[in-house]
Amino acid sequence: MKTTLRAVIVAALLTGLGACSSGDKDPQEAAQAQNEAQHAAAAPDNETSKAQDYDSEFLTKAASGGMLEVELGKLVSQRGTSAEARQFAQHMIADHTKANEELKALAAQKNITLPGSLASDHQDVYNGVAEEKGLDMDKKYLQEMEKDHQEDVKEFTEASAKASDPAIKAFAAKTLPTLQMHLDMVTKMRPAVEAKK
């Protein structure tokens, strides 16, 4: 009886998610809600479901963050004025495109739904950088990338220890040195760009 009721609730949730247009709900939240509904239906106990929710939340957030880094990289590689910002943007495109592909393959293997577009907070960051011009755009971009990579390093460090799925834990641990390298790069180059007039 419990399984049948749970299946009916999950089906209703998934149907409701499908009926929502992308403008109604944040893409990252919608993907995570779908993942949590699947976990609730499949997990035999609450602890397993919570562990799966953590893993899928990590991947959905990482997917949106990875998309942001690639999209901003493309923008700044085309419109950036400083050599430092354009160089960093090229690194973001190359490294995060590769990491994003690995993340997508892992999510597909684990039956985790990822957002198809930027989460609203990441879209706000993109818009904030895109509305700037010239050197101001470069400065804003590097500022956002430093902040973003500080958060990434923290989240990937946590997931490399806390994720319940060994493959997700391994992905976080494998990606962490690249994120730390990006953080080190942007931290070193930002003062030179900030000093430009």
Class of domain 50-194: mainly alpha
Percent of the chain scoring above 70 in pLDDT: 76
pLDDT band at 12 (very low <50, low <70, confident <90, very high): very low
Q: If you average pLDDT over every residue of the chain, what do you get?
A: 84
Encoding tokens for residue 66? 């990875």
Who's near 22: CB < 8 A, 6+ residues apart?
30, 116, 117
Instruction: Report the pLDDT value the prediction gives residue 7, as an integer from 0 to 100.
Output: 41
For residue range 94-115, list pLDDT tens digits in order.
999 999 999 999 999 998 889 9
Q: Residue 184: is its pLDDT beyond 50?
A: yes
pLDDT band at 9 (very low <50, low <70, confident <90, very high): very low
Instruction: Report the pLDDT value the prediction gives residue 18, as an integer from 0 to 100.
Output: 42
For residue range 110-141, list pLDDT tens digits in order.
988 899 999 999 999 999 999 999 999 999 99
Least confident segment among 12-21, 42-51, 78-87, 107-116:
12-21
Who's near 195: CB < 8 A, 6+ residues apart?
none
pTM attached to this predicted model: 0.79
pLDDT band at 36 (very low <50, low <70, confident <90, very high): low
pLDDT band at 26 (very low <50, low <70, confident <90, very high): confident
d(CA 2, CA 109): 28
Q: How many CA atoms lie within 13 Å of 26's alpha carbon, on the beta-carbon side?
A: 13
Instruction: Report the pLDDT value the prediction gives residue 21, as an integer from 0 to 100.
Output: 40
